[in-house]
Amino acid sequence: MMIDRLREYVGHETPTGDAQALNAFADRLLDRYAELGGTARRVAAPTGDHVVADFPGRGPLAAEAPLLFIGHHDTVWPIGQLREVMPWREQDGLLHGPGVFDMKGGLVVLEAALEQIADRDHRPVRVVVVADEEVGSPTARELVAAESSGVVAAFGFESPLPNGDLKTARRGSSRVRIEVTGREAHAALEPSRGVSAIDELIDQLIAVRALVSSYDDVLCNVGTITGGGRTNVVPGAAAADVGFRFIDPETERAVLDAVTSLEPIRPDAQLQVSVMSNRPAWQPSAATDELLQKVQAAARSVGQEIDGAPASGAADTNLTGWLGIPTLDGLGPRGKGAHAVHEQVIAASLAERASLVAAIITTI
């Protein structure tokens, strides 16, 4: 049943930014959460709608503060990836396909756990599934913050650490766009009249690298570069998107302040630096350590052992952790290959994770 559901979800491709595909998948989630006894609603966004669902508690804990479960239904893969490059495949206990690990497997785990606790006592559950996580959740940040109000703890359904352990902290993550406007001119007849936007951009990126090298443990990746068009024209426009990762808010603020304060090097060049998305660093805390201990006890009640450790990647749980809410991530199934063509999950871990999540809901 879980494998069938996952195959169905993988078969509905949902690239980030494809509002039509994402909204159609949101319809599936709305129907599914209603079937499971929740009150579900969509939150409109121009690049794809988010989904929020509330499941009432049962028994003595029915009036207690809810648990917050966070997921996303967008993937990094374009429409056609399933047909052309990464067909659904079941082999040697592994399930392959676009989004199977990041993170439609996590959505299936959550649904199965909600089925399992239907007749058991538990506190209320709130679910938030966002549509733009893969680009930093620019339209979902305020939603996640708002729905975090009053919860007792937050859990993410992203993939776990390679050994199956949960994530207890995450680096901060920011996407920055550097845009340069120069002046076009004929590259041979009047080169001195031109101002090369590409040359300016290259020098700015070198300056960014020098800045980052002065800090410990800051990761920097130039993900995209665009500009120019012809070799006989001095390019008048160029841009780069740069990703940064930080372990603490102080370094994050210092680096972003410095990057957004960059000035043009060439006369007549124009420079614009914009922070496209930002996820604050989620640092280790005593509250999260205490939550992990409760989850470990829940895991033992279903015959499992689990631990936790900080992770490098960022997700929506960065925000809940930064807000001071006890937070853990990595409740999705075990596997590997997020954002890679060998993306896969271990089939047996779907049921294992669902059992763990059900134990968490009924014991915390």
Query: What is the DSSP code string of 129-190?
Result: EES-GGGT-TTTHHHHHHHTTT-SEEEE-S---TTSPEEEEE-EEEEEEEEEE-B-EETTTS
Number of other CB atoms surrounding residue 181 within 10 Å: 17
Mean pLDDT for 307-324 is: 95
Same structural domain, 250 and 198: yes
Is residue 294 within a helix (H) or strand (E), and if so which, with residue range? helix 286-301
Place of tokens 């005593």: 286
Quick one: tokens of 134? 């893969």
End-to-end CA distance of the chain, in Å? 27
What domain count does the chain have? 2
Task: Give the side-chain half-sphere CA count within 13 A for 33.
Answer: 25
Same structural domain, 22 and 37: yes
The residues, ordered by sequence, that sit 6+ positions from 361 with a Cβ below 8 Å of its Cβ are: 67, 113, 114, 117, 122, 123, 125
Is residue 205 within a helix (H) or strand (E), and if so which, with residue range? helix 197-213
Place of tokens 């917050």: 68
Same structural domain, 301 and 181: no
CATH number at residue 206: 3.30.70.360
The predicted structure's pLDDT at residue 82 = 97
In this predicted model, what pLDDT tens digit does every residue of 265-313 receive, in sequence order? 999 999 999 999 999 999 999 999 999 999 999 999 999 999 999 998 8
pLDDT exceeds cutoff 90 at 170: yes
The predicted structure's pLDDT at residue 169 = 97
The predicted structure's pLDDT at residue 175 = 94
Same structural domain, 271 and 289: no
Rounded CA separation 276/253 (Å): 15
The predicted structure's pLDDT at residue 216 = 87
* Average per-residue pLDDT for the chain: 97
The predicted structure's pLDDT at residue 156 = 98
CA 334 vs CA 66, 100, 102: distances in Å: 26, 11, 11
Q: Is the pTM higher than 0.85? A: yes
The predicted structure's pLDDT at residue 308 = 98
Domain's final residue, options 262, 279, 296: 279
Rounded CA separation 298/358 (Å): 9
Proportion of the chain above pLDDT 70, given as a percent: 100
Same structural domain, 272 and 212: yes
Same structural domain, 78 and 103: yes
Q: Measuring CA to CA, which residue among 57, 58, 27, 54 is closest to residue 149?
A: 54
pLDDT exceeds cutoff 90 at 187: yes
Residue 327: which pLDDT band, with cuts at 50, 70 and 90?
very high
Q: Just list the catalytic residues.
A: 74, 133
Same structural domain, 262 and 310: no
The predicted structure's pLDDT at residue 112 = 98
Same structural domain, 194 and 308: no
Phi-psi region of 63 (alpha: psi -120 to 50; beta: other; left: phi over 0): alpha
Helix (H, G, I), strand (E, B) or coil at 203: helix
The predicted structure's pLDDT at residue 272 = 98
Number of other CB atoms surrounding residue 320 within 10 Å: 27
Mean pLDDT for 37-46 is: 98
Same structural domain, 165 and 271: no
The predicted structure's pLDDT at residue 154 = 98
With beta carbons less than 8 A apart as the criterion, state whether 33 and 127 touch: yes
The predicted structure's pLDDT at residue 16 = 98
Domain boundaries, position 197: 172-279
In this predicted model, what pLDDT tens digit does every residue of 9-29 receive, in sequence order? 999 999 999 999 999 999 999
Domain's final residue, options 279, 296, 315: 279
DSSP string, 301-332: HTT----EEEESS--THHHHHHTT--EEB--S
The residues, ordered by sequence, that sit 6+ positions from 206 with a Cβ below 8 Å of its Cβ are: none
Domain's final residue, options 249, 279, 309: 279
55 forms beta bridges with 125
Same structural domain, 24 and 134: yes
Quick one: tokens of 294? 């409760």
Same structural domain, 96 and 20: yes
Which amino acid belongs to residue 261?
Answer: S
Same structural domain, 319 and 258: no
Mean pLDDT for 236-249 is: 96
In this predicted model, what pLDDT tens digit does every residue of 194-209 receive, in sequence order? 999 999 999 999 999 9
CATH number at residue 149: 3.40.630.10
In this predicted model, what pLDDT tens digit does every residue of 51-103 receive, in sequence order? 999 999 999 999 999 999 999 999 999 999 999 899 999 999 999 999 999 99
pLDDT exceeds cutoff 90 at 334: yes
